[in-house]
Amino acid sequence: MRVLKILLLVCLFLNGNAQKSGQEAIDSMLLKLRESQYDTNKVRLLYKISKAYQDLDIEKSTQFANQSMAAAKTLGWKKGIAANHILSGELLLNGNKYDSALLQFKAAYATNTAINNIPGIISALQSIGNVYYGQSNHNQALPYYLKALEMAEKAEDNDRICRINQNIAGVYLDQENSTKMLQYAKKSYAAAINSKIPENTITSLESIGLAYLLGKDSISAGNYFSKALELNESTGNIYREANLYHYLALAKKSISERIRCLLQAKKLFDAYSPDHAMALSNLKHLGTAYRDSSVKITDPGKKQQLLSSAEAYYEKAIAISKAMGHIDTYNDAESGLATVRAAKGEYRSAYELLYNYVQTYDSLYSQETKNRIATLENAREIDARDKQIQINKLALSNARRTRGALIAGAVFLFIIGGLLFYQNRTRRRTNTTLLTLNNELDEANKVKTKFFGILSHDLRSPIANLINYLHLQKESPELLSEQKKQHYQKDLTTAAENLLDTMEAMLLWSKSQMERFSPQKKLIPVSHLFEHIQKQLPANNTVHFHFANPEQLSVSTDEDYLKTIMYNLTANALKALQHTPNGQVRWEARQQAHLVLLTITDNGPGIQQPQMEALYNENAVIGTKHGLGLHLIRDLAKAIQCTVSFRPAANGGASFTITI
């Protein structure tokens, strides 16, 4: 999965220009440059030379980009300045200098917006999205991609439509959704054909091949990579050719064919940039291919020769990756080298490499390796029972080990000292484990007590609504027309459903208190959250609600946790407005920098300072007849890594803001 992401990143970030030229075209432009006058045409020529060098020689590309920017600034040509901001940002992005690249792209967006240059605005938006995508921040990248795609489609710009669809395909690559990735890759290909730009067609074929590779259809993937190679021959782009041979190798089932393609890619990478991220990935795959080819070899000499080749490529990938700071490739190569050393019988070295691999991997991907507990109806009781079983097993194991040590001591008197030492060390380890498990069991019981103590909080309000409806129907049936009866029956059903939702939310919160449940993050439209709040409102509600989401924002978090927090803030506001005439509650969503702020404001009497202790102090306890209370809101917000802040409203009421 990580390998495919690296491949597509290269495809996306290095495809900034759809008309890259070979060395022959560069020489022709250099000749024209000597004869050109100092005007906007000279800026364009310097820009084109830099773009042509972008995949061939980064240093020369940077040199001509700087000259083009200097000339544009001297002439005061804003369109040229904006274009060179994007060019400089692309070069910085190729070197993983994300912050510097982002500054260049934002400067390009500001300049293009000032002069209403639509193509420039589209390119700047797409480039900003590429920065966030390169940092795996898809929630930030996607809005920029979608806005750029909308403008490109409106302008019927097939070149940019092609490349933006490739960007969106990259998002689905991260989600391991090969079907969606293939869908957008094919949209990119259709736009590439309409654009009549060969480079767009090549990169679209690459994306389709990678989508098939993600879907484990290596035959289709190989066919598309081969088509891209054929088209690339006329461009003279050796870097693109190296990439394509690398991709083709991954699609080959035959190890010998895979090695042939990887060696061809290595030859091309060595001529272009041997320390490039893709070149290092190619070295790592060469090591893997040679290692795999040795598995079925029975001839010891030939087997050692293949393992030595694998070892050499892994060691080279490790050395360069470590120097260049490519941790992913370095870590994967260490893991591969460990298997080679083990196959050669060098177990100590293999162990050390594997240990380093695990340490590095855990530091990078600890969030991915956390255990997830299945949803069980009686999770706390099962957890406590399992811990007790473990305690009993450990105690029994300790007794058996002690008895075995005594018997062995009677038979083998000369090793009594060693056995006693071993027994003592084992007992200390077992006692430590027993103490830990007992503490966990005690903590589980405390959580259980706390859970049942607060369970009634969020059940009172829905049940009270149900009782009111039932009393009205029982004691004064003559007041109810047939139409009202149907209306109240519908409300009763809705109240029961809301009660079920509340109970599910309580169970979800209880799992978070067990510290073994990880919130499930996904992208949620704010409009869906507001609709959920509206459905939760009591049937006899007299408070006026207003929901504002002018930017149609979305947030990335756990949907159930956030709904529970918003519901309880709403319930608290309704309680505060019970004795307030013309009560009003306003929910508003807005974006501030990279954050989304959800604010609820009421015109009630406000909140006293002692009541706010529960929001910031974990030891404070506040009871309420509506909602879970601020102390539970605090716990739930902490679980999904958002903050809830309070400030008095301008009209004397209260205002709470959820920052995500």
Q: Are residues 80 and 229 in the same domain?
A: yes
pLDDT tens-digit series, residues 167-202: 999 888 877 889 999 999 999 999 999 999 999 999
| 344 residue type, one letter | K
Q: Distance (Å, rounded) from C-alpha 169 to C-alpha 173?
A: 6
Domain range holding 408? 379-454
Alpha-carbon distance of 13 to 64, in angstroms, equals: 19
- Mean pLDDT throughout 431-456? 70
Question: What is the rounded average pLDDT of the residues 463-470?
Answer: 72
Residue 622 counted as domain residue: yes
Share of the chain above pLDDT 70, in %: 82
- 426, 454, 482 - which closes a domain: 454
- Predicted TM-score of the model (pTM): 0.48
> Do 8 and 150 belong to one domain?
yes
Spatial separation of the C-alpha atoms in residues 327 and 333, rounded to whole Å: 10
Residue 468 domain-assigned (yes or no): no
Confidence at residue 16, expressed as pLDDT on a 0 to 100 scale: 42
Q: Are residues 146 and 260 in the same domain?
A: no
**Tokens 């689905």 correspond to what residue?**
172
Q: Is residue 466 part of a domain?
A: no
- 241 and 344 inside one domain: yes
Q: Are residues 144 and 65 in the same domain?
A: yes
Q: Are residues 221 and 332 in the same domain?
A: no
Residue 462 lies in a domain: no
Final residue in a domain of this structure, among 401, 434, 454: 454
Average pLDDT taken over every residue of the chain? 82
pLDDT for 20-77, tens place per residue? 346 777 888 888 888 788 888 888 989 999 888 887 788 889 999 999 999 999 999 9
Please state the domain count of the chain. 4
Residues 584 and 447 in one domain: no
In this structure, are residues 222 and 251 in contact, taking their beta carbons and an 8 Å threshold?
yes
Residues 392 and 357 in one domain: no
User: What CA–CA distance (Å, rounded) separates 416 from 406?
Assistant: 9
Question: Region 370-391: what's the mean pLDDT?
Answer: 47
pLDDT bracket for residue 128 (50, 70, 90): very high
Same structural domain, 119 and 187? yes
Is residue 481 over pLDDT 80? no
For residues 61 and 35, the answer to whether their CB atoms sit within 8 Å is no
Note the pLDDT of residue 206.
93
Q: Which residue has the higher pLDDT, 388 or 346?
A: 346
454 within 8 A of 510, measured Cβ to Cβ? no
In a domain, 198, yes or no: yes
Task: Select from 561, 567, 444 the least CA-distant residue to 509.
Answer: 561
At residue 273, the pLDDT reads 81
Write down how long the chain is.
660
Residue 293 lies in a domain: yes
User: What is the average per-residue pLDDT within 345-354?
Assistant: 89
| Rounded CA Rg of the chain | 32
pLDDT single digits (tens) 202-258: 999 999 999 999 999 999 999 999 999 999 988 888 888 999 999 999 999 999 999
Which amino acid does the sequence have at 405? A
| Cα 610 from Cα 614, distance rounded (Å) | 8
Cα diameter, the chain: 102
Which pLDDT does position 455 carry in this prediction? 57
Domain boundary among 171, 203, 235: 235
Q: Which tokens go with 514?
A: 């067990």
Span 626-653, pLDDT tens digits: 445 677 788 888 888 999 999 888 778 8
Residue 220 lies in a domain: yes
Cα(600)–Cα(462) distance, integer angstroms: 21
pLDDT in tens, 285-304: 999 999 999 998 889 999 99
pLDDT at 7 over 60: no
Q: Are residues 213 and 307 in the same domain?
A: no
The verdict on 348 and 406 lying in the same domain is no
Average pLDDT over residues 327-342: 89
Rounded to whole angstroms, the Cα distance separating 128 from 559 reads 27
Give the CATH number, domain containing residue 325: 1.25.40.10
Cβ-proximal residues to 163 (8 Å cutoff; 6+ apart), any chain: 12, 15, 18, 126, 188, 200, 203
Residue 209: inside a domain, yes or no?
Answer: yes
138, 219: one domain: yes
